Amino acid sequence: MALPAWVLNRCGGPGKQGVGWQWGIGTPSLEHQCLARASSQAVPPTPQQPTPSTPHKSGRSSMQSPSNQLAPSLPLVEAVLRQAASLPLVGLDGDPGTMVGTLILVPAQPDGAAPTAWEVACGASLGYARQLGLAGVAGDFLLLPTLPPLSGSEDQVKETQPRLPQAPVALYCYQPGAGPDEFGALAQKLPPGPWRLEAPFTEGEEDEGRESNEGAAAPARLMADALLGFCLGSPSCTLKGHDLAQLRAREGDAGPAAPVHKRACLVTPPPHVVPEVMLAEVRATARAMRLGRALINVPANLLGPAELARAAATLLADQGAKVTLVEGAMVAADYPCLAAVGAGSQRGPVVVKASWGHPEAPLVALCGKGVCFDTGGYNLKPGGAMARMKKDMGGAAFMLATALLLVETVPNTAQGVRFELRLGCVENSLGASAMVPGDVLATRSGLTVEVGNTDAEGRLVLCDLLSDVAALKPDLIVDGATLTGAARAALGPDLPALFANSESHAQALLKAGHACRDPLWRLPLWQPYGKWLKSRLADINNCASVPMAGAVTAALFLERFIPPGQPWLHIDTYAWRDDPAPAHPHGGDLPGLRALHRFLAQPANWRGGVTEI
């Protein structure tokens, strides 16, 4: 399978050793060769169960017609990710031939009264702006009309018409302190073309809780929020025919996803206005979020376990991480419970193992549920509940985005952060080999699990991953998963549920979420409910015996695989937007990403033992 030119270029081209671990190009790594040998000795390769050395073919069955697939799927997925990583930010470097608009950011007034300084800033009278519909409340947007210069003397022009700008000028009213989400709507409001930010009214603004930017001027913090919110609110690529044609036409092009005059984009402020370190964090955060969302949005026929694992491997290796893919018989040997979840699918499970960081840096272990599609198994989901189950790999997208963001923003030194990442990529399907209710499964830890419900598969994926990383004795374990409908019903799409076995770690993460306006909501690890997970046959049941507190009992199940004294955070997220909101378009979403990054980027927040709840 030929890879896109952009992958070949960044990996050093065919036959050359690229950055990190490369797959499908040149000579495989030693670890990959060992896995390939072990797999080939255990199970002969078949079209339905590829070994690591065999490129995986898209499709759920070898009997499917290629005409029913957008194949080859992996290059298409990578092209979609490339477009997602292309941010709507430009640096024009003073190009005199480009007409650049001005976007003036204005704080909303409590009574809706616009400050008189607007008149000076925008070059038009306040009265005229009000006639055009400016109210001065949060979210208010006004695009001032542009007219050619009028003939006649300057005095005549002043008497007959307000002064109008020659280049486009727009006003946007924001709520001070609201964070990046406040500016997400600009992506839909601004006309195509480049826009330069101005924030002339930030003197004296309070910016509660923004510790990471202490010392930065208020305009810099405001502009950084505006840049990030605009990037997160900008649409990414779809799989409509027109977008696919554009993807194919631009394949291998290293330039922006579209010419600046065909979509709205923001001009990055110079370093003396917004420090480069802040701009770098904006870019990294926007890229990580958009990549994670794009992965969630790709349909399951294009993004199976192998495609998700290989896309993650490419992204991580590109950043210098050491990556290993565990496939075939090795999954059943090392992750037996996870393998049982994928036994019903003809697309075998894959586990991504990645590591990065200085060996003396504090270690955080990240585990993500990557169920690429969840039918529910033999406890089949109803059609309405199954419709969006391509998003059931949202936990893997969350943890992958977190890892990518740490690599881009945290120094690779002993004072930085080191991570171990595990992504369990699997498909929960029906089939002759699929698990059924009443089965008893082995786990990596040695505990046995009775399958009370095949639709409670996410915890079966995570339990083996947690046991794997717990053996490394990290300073902290964090797992992310679209685990329960109970968390979604309780908290909705905005608030991921947080469970923690350590008070200090929980409070530090909640504080980070409040500071960056990306909140999580804590739910209890209520131990008395653990009795509902008892099994007469096995050590534990994967499904509670009563239909109550589903998010709590799921977290209690996972806690059984955490050694005593090991700090652990569990994030149960919806990872989806049914109704779009500013900075949160319809589709995949990763609320809590910015909060978790802010928390992990400062090891003082989490380097320490469990503190009692």
Q: Is the pLDDT of residue 404 over 80?
A: yes
Q: Is the pLDDT of residue 254 over 70?
A: no
CATH number at residue 347: 3.40.630.10
105 falls within a domain: yes
Q: Tell me the CA distances in angstroms from 155 to 4, 64, 142, 245, one per residue in order.
A: 61, 76, 27, 54
Q: Is the pLDDT of residue 570 over 70?
A: yes
Give the pLDDT confidence of 503-551 residue by residue, as tens digits. 999 999 999 999 999 999 999 999 999 999 999 999 999 999 999 999 9
Number of domains making up the chain? 2
Task: Work out the end-to-end distance of the chain between its first and last CA atoms, rounded to an integer number of angstroms.
Answer: 52
Region 137-165: what's the mean pLDDT?
63
**Which residue numbers are catalytic?**
381, 459
Supply the pLDDT for residue 554. 99
Q: Are 122 and 184 found together in one domain? A: yes
Determine contact, residues 259/187, Cβ cutoff 8 Å: no
Q: Are 262 and 321 found together in one domain? A: no
248 falls within a domain: no
Of 252 and 611, more confident: 611
* Three-state secondary-structure class, residue 345: coil
Q: Is the pLDDT of residue 95 over 70?
A: no
| Closest CA relative to residue 408, chosen from 514, 286, 273, 511 | 286
Q: Is the pLDDT of residue 22 over 50?
A: no
Supply the pLDDT for residue 78. 86
Q: Is the pLDDT of residue 122 over 60?
A: no
385 falls within a domain: yes
* Three-state secondary-structure class, residue 372: strand
469 falls within a domain: yes
Mean pLDDT score of the chain, rounded to an integer?
Answer: 82
Cross-strand partners of 358: none
Supply the pLDDT for residue 66. 33
CATH number at residue 261: 3.40.220
**Which residue in this structure is represented by tokens 């393998």?**
339
Q: Are 330 and 263 found together in one domain? A: no
Q: Are 270 and 341 found together in one domain? A: no
Q: Tell me the CA distances in angstroms from 11 to 21, 217, 406, 542, 557, one per residue in order.
A: 9, 39, 21, 42, 41
* Three-state secondary-structure class, residue 79: helix
Q: How far out from the chain centre does Cα 198 lie?
A: 29
Supply the pLDDT for residue 213. 45
Supply the pLDDT for residue 240. 84
Q: Are 270 and 345 found together in one domain? A: no
Q: Is the pLDDT of residue 592 over 60?
A: yes
Of 92 and 28, more confident: 92
350 falls within a domain: yes
Supply the pLDDT for residue 322. 98
Region 101-124: what's the mean pLDDT?
65
Supply the pLDDT for residue 169. 87
How far apart CA 274 and CA 284 sit, in angstroms, is 15
Mean pLDDT lowest for which of 163-177, 289-303, 335-349? 163-177
How far apart CA 570 and CA 389 sit, in angstroms, is 21
* Three-state secondary-structure class, residue 298: coil
Q: Are 119 and 172 found together in one domain? A: yes
60 falls within a domain: no
Q: Are 312 and 409 found together in one domain? A: yes
- Interior angle at CA 330, CA 326 and CA 335, nearest 5: 85
User: Residue 330 belongs to what domain range?
Assistant: 307-436+455-534+548-605
Q: Are 195 and 331 found together in one domain? A: no
Q: Is the pLDDT of residue 1 over 70?
A: no
Supply the pLDDT for residue 251. 62
149 falls within a domain: yes
Supply the pLDDT for residue 395. 99
**pLDDT band with cut points at 50, 70 and 90 for residue 136:** confident
216 falls within a domain: yes
Q: Are 176 and 323 found together in one domain? A: no
Give the pLDDT confidence of 187-206 residue by residue, as tens digits. 999 999 999 999 877 654 55
Supply the pLDDT for residue 70. 47
Give the number of C-alpha atoms closer than 13 A to the C-alpha of residue 238, restricted to the C-beta side.
8
**Which residue in this structure is represented by tokens 């979604």?**
488
Give the pLDDT confidence of 306-331 residue by residue, as tens digits. 999 999 999 999 999 999 999 999 99
Q: Are 397 and 465 found together in one domain? A: yes
Strands in 401-551 per DSSP E: 418-428, 440-442, 448-450, 476-481, 497-500, 521-522, 540-541
Q: Is the pLDDT of residue 211 over 80?
A: no
- Taking the whole predicted model, whether its pTM rises above 0.75 is answered as yes
Of 41 and 436, more confident: 436
How far apart CA 335 and CA 210 sit, in angstroms, is 42
Of 57 and 221, more confident: 221
Mean pLDDT lowest for which of 173-182, 360-369, 371-380? 173-182
Structure token pair of residue 440 = 């008893």
Of 115 and 499, more confident: 499
Most confident of 178-182, 383-387, 557-561: 557-561
Alpha-helical regions (H) of 150-275: 154-160, 186-189, 218-233, 241-250
Supply the pLDDT for residue 44. 34
Q: Are 262 and 324 found together in one domain? A: no
Share of the chain above pLDDT 70, in %: 76
Q: Are 202 and 348 found together in one domain? A: no
